[in-house]
A and B are shown apart, each in its own frame.
Chain A
Amino acid sequence: MTLTEDPTTTADGPAKEVGNARLRKEDARLITGKTTWTDNMVLPGMLHMAFLRSPVAHATISHLDVSAAKDRPNVVAVYTGQDFKDEQGTIPCAWPVTPDMVNPGHPSIAVDTVNHVGEAVAIVVARTRTAAVDAVEAIDVDYENLPVVLDMEEAVKDGADLVHASTSSNTSYHFVFDAGEAGTGSDTDAAFRDAEVTVSRRFVQQRLIPAFMEPRSAVVGVQGDNYTLWSATQIPHILRVMGALTTGIPEHKLRVVAPDVGGGFGGKLQVCPEEILALLVARRLGKPVKWTETRSESLMTAHHGRDQIQYIDVAAKKDGTVTGLRVRLLADMGAYLRLITPGVPALGAFMFPGIYKFPAYRFECDGVFTNKVPTDAYRGAGRPEATFAIERIMDELAVELDMDPMELRRKNWISAEEFPFTTVAGLEYDSGDYEQATQAALELLGYDELRAEQKRRRESGDPVQLGIGISTFTEMCGLAPSRVLGSLSFGAGGWEQASIRMLPTGKVEVVTGSTPHGQGHETAWSQIVADELGVPFEDVEVLHGDTAISSRGLDTYGSRSLVVGGTAVVKAAEKVVAKARKIAAHLLEASEDDLEFSGGKFSVKGTPGAGLGIQEIALAIFAAHDYPEGIEPSIDAEAAFDPVNFSFPHGTHLCAMEVDTETGFVTIRKYASVDDIGTIVNPIIVEGQMHGGLAQGIAQALYEEAIYDADGNLTTGTFVDYLLPSAADLPTFHTGNTVHAATSNPLGAKGVGEAGCIASTPAVVNAALDAVRHLGVTDIRMPLTPERVWRAIHQGGDGGDRAAEGSNAYGGARTTESGIEEAAQ
């Protein structure tokens, strides 16, 4: 890729900013830390909060005495659940996926019982952070243990121990999508009855931790009965509404600010208990407070992701034509329902058919309570799980039919001329060409040479075997058409808001409701506006993340920002131009119809030379000495955009994997992907999103797993045991694009934030299996630890459970009252 900073001018007029590989204008301050992260905030008289957290997974609090902590130096107050039980409400769940979904409520701080390790039990408020942390150790607490529920397959059995005594079972909901009943497909039972071949598998989506770089942090400022909550959140707008509803602070008295935020990956798409408690404590004391989590606290208490057991059946004809798909999920909710906990697996329901023309499809999902921290959104949210299952079982079906896995896919995928295509799940895929992306990916990988090498290694019995894995995926992004969200019982719409302010000097402020947390909105939005208004890229400033500045918005998740928020910016810009046109016509003494707008300038058709720049008009209307009667003296504008459909990025990901059969160690030899994400606004940002997404998707396949021991302690309580790869562990990514514009937005953009994460995981696992399938291996559980791969090769099975003991490096870190206890030595 060529990095260019200066757009070139072509004979057809000024070069377009959209498509230009601009370096990100926000990066200098983000990378050097020269910005105000939430934890940098210091308010006069600010107090600090620290939490006593439960060291046990399920218990009643039999004794809790905070008096000694209150006597510690610099401690201002110590609170327990009893202090807030009447005003803390419940952490909101905005996605009741079924009318009879059971939601036992989610207190921000435990009152009588604790339901997962790490749940808040007491809050120390002190003048310094150190004093608060020290005083936590002085709290006297006893627990009476209750049976711990951890295993979903056990938890759903009759007579199982219950997480919540108030419920009759551990099943929160049973969600069904049946294409036959919905009228989008034929009868699934009949499809399986008549099938020539069926393949059934049980796949495990391990529990993951979002592991954003900046830990969560919240600061609450108090001005009379007005409150400002600064938070490292993805969703200041939603947090404002939900925070107001939960605490009873009137919405117009609550301002929420997300300053620069260091990553989220869905992990900050939440109304966190600690945010609510910070508001409650600040209101109780009338003083500003701050809470910033430690990394161990983050791993233990911020919501986790994935954690599904997937039972998937596919029916097919002997020639490989697929005839039916049946999916049953157990989805681990954890102990409580947070903002969209139940909706994540339900969102996946629509993606299991992938790119294939299944005539029949049925999906069922049980949301199951366990004594673990709640799950919720994590990059891809439902779609990686679905993509993994379908792409894994297509390989299994290919093996069963003795077909080439790519040929099987090709036989069943939607062909380019069939777009727009309505799937068996009822979605209308907008555009694409799976064959084209696949051909490009095969060339990028050097598929034929690697297949030849694979054959040589097999024949020579090389201890290092080679495999190639395929993932031909699509996803739904650009959340979302509000009416569709309504039909899915989601608690909000999917529109987005933008406004444009034309300043007197001609500079432009763009206010977006789509709050970034590292994506590069400021650069991309500037490029869009530069093109729409014909102003220099440098003249555009993008404002975001503060509900007092950006009053309406629905924030950033689900690869929605460019598709929905970027489109809102386009719409607002169109309004600005339309308003400016009237003034230009007036000042140029011409008819509006005779004006053309190009390169930021209105000119009169057929009259070369005469013209007026939009930046000049901004000054003219600021002065407002001379403008038409009957219009307002402003060319500022705002717009809201509600998409009519999702957009559907797709692509072909190929992974070549070396497996050391002596040790089980797997090494990615080469990774190639060709993605169709519609029109590309900024190739560098796209490349960055792809790399990050690939890293996270590969990490699910190879490295990451949140492990609880038999008592419900989080074994992977530090980054020693919760393993994240670095650049040193990942291969060079060979990426490419095909471009089929999205049809549901004027930019033609499809969204790229999650694509790499969704697509890559099954490609990696399929590759490892392809390398060792001739040795009798049919499945390996994720992550593919060397031990699991070795056991699968040499002992059969899927590699099995890992030991639940953490590694002993520097003593090992385990959960306890202060967060940590010494591992058994």
Chain B
Amino acid sequence: MIPASFAYARPTSVDEALQAIAAGGEDVKIMAGGQSLIPVMRLRLAAPETVVDLTRVTELRGVREDGDSLVIGAMTTHSDILRDPLIAQYGKLIAEATETVADPAVRHRGTFGGALAHADPAGDLPAVALALDAEFVIAGPGGARRSVPASAFFVDYLTTALEEGELLVEVRVPKLGEGWGVRYEKFNRVAQAWSIVAVAAAVRREGSTIAEARIGLTNMGSTPLRATATEQALVGADVSLETVTAAAAQAAEGTEPSSDLNAQADYRQHLARVLTGRAVRAAAGL
């Protein structure tokens, strides 16, 4: 399929990008890796007036430390993430989820920020960002920056807190170091497919007790969700098969997943419970 015609801008800095977005007319689409946008345009589900291509905005690419946080540039590709030593040390949950994204060709072009800004509930990284309480650093027209927590960033299906004219610049996540165990438990029918359901779990143990638990759910609603009831049940609990299983049984509480040819809603909720159990057991070292 051939996309409808569009104007194209390829800025080299954040400032230039913001200007291009401002000058792009009514319907501007920002292209990061293009791995979701281009298919949608080719299917003519989207026909933007202007595409602003960020691939040459090098300042947005890379991972750095800032105290207790990792700061991930929005244009850092999935392959960059998988090769990054800071991610390997402090961002294992991100790495695990990123490894499951599509195939090597997609991971080579697709970006961390693009995946989050696209906010596909079947995408793998939104639930991870939510579980980690990521902070989204957004540049507005003129260059002013604001920060939005993950809990407020994902608004609806393919919809985020990004306003017109704004650009996602970087994402700050807490370093998960000593004591933390993680697991991204993805359920799909073939290796390259989107998640039918997936669970991102990070658990910090203190001895035989669970001190902290962060659990994000992929594709269990129109946005990524936290399995709050399960998290609460886990904190302070003994690390045992029984407590984890009992806590995981609450993982689908409050979810309203969609029904499609891969899974009807009740089965998705069942999967969320089973996969949460598996993810937490693995993260807790059971």
Do the beta carbons of B45 and A804 come within 8 Å of each other? Answer: no
User: What is the size category of the interface that chain B forms with chain A?
Assistant: 35 or more
Most buried by B among A707, A724, A810: A810
Quick check: is A729 within 8 A (CB to CB) of the other chain? yes
Which residues does chain A contribute within 8 Å of B8, judged by CB atoms?
none
Q: Which one, B260, B267, B275, contacts A805 given CB within 8 A? A: B260
Do the beta carbons of A818 and B44 come within 8 Å of each other? Answer: yes
Do the beta carbons of A803 and B190 come within 8 Å of each other? Answer: no
Q: Which one, B1, B44, B122, contacts A809 given CB within 8 A? A: B122
Do the beta carbons of A805 and B43 come within 8 Å of each other? Answer: no
Which residues does chain A contribute within 8 Å of B193, judged by CB atoms?
720, 723
0/1 interface trace, chain A 254-279, chain B, CB 8 Å (1 if under): 00000000000000000000000000
Do the beta carbons of B191 and A803 come within 8 Å of each other? Answer: no
Contact A809:B189 (CB < 8 A) given known A803-B261, A819-B1? no
Quick check: is A807 within 8 A (CB to CB) of the other chain? yes
Which residues does chain B contribute within 8 Å of A715, judged by CB atoms?
261
**Smallest distance from the beta carbon of A795 to chain B beta carbons, Å?**
10
Which residues does chain B contribute within 8 Å of A607, judged by CB atoms?
none
Within B240-269, which residues are at the interface with A (CB < 8 Å)? 258-264, 267
Do the beta carbons of A790 and B261 come within 8 Å of each other? Answer: no
Which residues does chain A contribute within 8 Å of B23, judged by CB atoms?
none
Do the beta carbons of B261 and A806 come within 8 Å of each other? Answer: yes
Instruction: For A725, give the chain B residue with the smallest CB separation.
Output: B190
Contact A811:B267 (CB < 8 A) given known A662-B274, A723-B193? no
Quick check: is B105 within 8 A (CB to CB) of the other chain? no
- Give the segment of A128-136, A173-181, A482-490, A766-774 that binds chain B: A128-136
Do the beta carbons of B4 and A809 come within 8 Å of each other? Answer: no
Which residues does chain A contribute within 8 Å of B69, judged by CB atoms?
none
Within A764-817, which residues are at the interface with B (CB < 8 Å)? 785-787, 790-791, 802-811, 813
User: What is the size category of the interface that chain A forms with chain B?
Assistant: 35 or more
Do the beta carbons of B189 and A804 come within 8 Å of each other? Answer: no
Give bound CA distance, A299 to B4, whole Å. Answer: 21
**Smallest distance from the beta carbon of A783 to chain B beta carbons, Å?**
9
Do the beta carbons of A807 and B262 come within 8 Å of each other? Answer: yes
Give bound CA distance, A665 to B186, whole Å. Answer: 12
**Smallest distance from the beta carbon of B216 to chain A beta carbons, Å?**
18
Quick check: is A41 within 8 A (CB to CB) of the other chain? no
Quick check: is B48 within 8 A (CB to CB) of the other chain? no
Do the beta carbons of B192 and A726 come within 8 Å of each other? Answer: yes
**Smallest distance from the beta carbon of B286 to chain A beta carbons, Å?**
15
Give bound CA distance, A819 to B274, whole Å. Answer: 38
Quick check: is B284 within 8 A (CB to CB) of the other chain? no
Give bound CA distance, A344 to B36, whole Å. Answer: 39
Q: Which one, A703, A790, A822, contacts B190 given CB within 8 A? A: A703
Do the beta carbons of A810 and B274 come within 8 Å of each other? Answer: no
Give bound CA distance, A721 to B263, whole Å. Answer: 12
Which residues does chain A contribute within 8 Å of B274, judged by CB atoms?
662-663
Do the beta carbons of A803 and B264 come within 8 Å of each other? Answer: yes
Do the beta carbons of A787 and B190 come within 8 Å of each other? Answer: no
**Smallest distance from the beta carbon of B126 to chain A beta carbons, Å?**
13
Give bound CA distance, A129 to B193, whole Å. Answer: 31
Instruction: For B268, give the chain A residue with the smallest CB separation.
Output: A787
Instruction: For B263, give the chain A residue with the smallest CB separation.
Output: A787
Quick check: is B146 within 8 A (CB to CB) of the other chain? no
**Smallest distance from the beta carbon of A131 to chain B beta carbons, Å?**
10
Which residues does chain B contribute within 8 Å of A804, judged by CB atoms?
261
Do the beta carbons of B36 and A810 come within 8 Å of each other? Answer: yes
Give bound CA distance, A63 to B82, whole Å. Answer: 56
Q: Which one, A662, A720, A805, A809, contacts B259 given CB within 8 A? A: A805
B interface secondary structure, majority? loop
Q: Which one, A130, A134, A805, contacts B258 given CB within 8 A? A: A805
Do the beta carbons of A663 and B187 come within 8 Å of each other? Answer: yes
**Smallest distance from the beta carbon of B190 to chain A beta carbons, Å?**
5
Instruction: For B273, give the chain A residue with the smallest CB separation.
Output: A662
**Smallest distance from the beta carbon of A823 to chain B beta carbons, Å?**
9
Within B41-97, which residues are at the interface with A (CB < 8 Å)? 43-46
Within B115-158, which residues are at the interface with A (CB < 8 Å)? 120-122, 157-158
Which residues does chain B contribute within 8 Å of A32, judged by CB atoms?
none
Which residues does chain A contribute within 8 Å of B259, judged by CB atoms?
803, 805
Do the beta carbons of B44 and A807 come within 8 Å of each other? Answer: no
Contact A296:B260 (CB < 8 A) given known A133-B2, A808-B121, A809-B120? no
Do the beta carbons of B264 and A820 come within 8 Å of each other? Answer: no
Quick check: is B108 within 8 A (CB to CB) of the other chain? no
Do the beta carbons of B5 and A807 come within 8 Å of each other? Answer: no
Quick check: is A40 within 8 A (CB to CB) of the other chain? no
Instruction: For A721, give the chain B residue with the smallest CB separation.
Output: B261
Q: Which one, A805, A813, A819, contacts B261 given CB within 8 A? A: A805
Quick check: is B271 within 8 A (CB to CB) of the other chain? yes
Quick check: is A2 within 8 A (CB to CB) of the other chain? no
**Smallest distance from the beta carbon of B109 to chain A beta carbons, Å?**
15
Q: Which one, B120, B157, B258, B264, contacts A787 given CB within 8 A? A: B264
Do the beta carbons of B187 and A134 come within 8 Å of each other? Answer: no
Q: Which one, A296, A728, A802, A806, contacts B192 given CB within 8 A? A: A728
Do the beta carbons of A809 and B194 come within 8 Å of each other? Answer: yes
Which residues does chain B contribute within 8 Å of A806, judged by CB atoms?
260-261
Quick check: is A9 within 8 A (CB to CB) of the other chain? no
Which residues does chain B contribute within 8 Å of A716, judged by CB atoms?
261
Which residues does chain A contribute within 8 Å of B261, judged by CB atoms?
707, 715-716, 721, 802-807
Which residues does chain A contribute within 8 Å of B194, judged by CB atoms?
720, 807, 809
Chain A contacts to B: CB under 8 angstroms = 129-130, 133-134, 294-296, 662-663, 665, 703, 707, 715-716, 718, 720-721, 723-726, 728-729, 785-787, 790-791, 802-811, 813, 818-820, 822, 825
Besides A296-B1, A807-B260, A819-B1, 8 more A-B contacts (Cβ < 8 Å) are A133-B2, A723-B190, A724-B190, A729-B190, A786-B196, A790-B267, A805-B258, A809-B194
- Please list 26 pairs of residues, one from A and one from B, whose beta carbons are closer than 8 Å in the complex, sorted by A's number: A129-B2, A133-B1, A294-B1, A295-B1, A296-B1, A662-B274, A663-B271, A663-B275, A724-B190, A725-B190, A726-B190, A728-B191, A728-B192, A785-B189, A787-B263, A802-B261, A803-B264, A805-B260, A807-B260, A809-B122, A809-B194, A810-B36, A810-B40, A818-B44, A819-B1, A819-B44
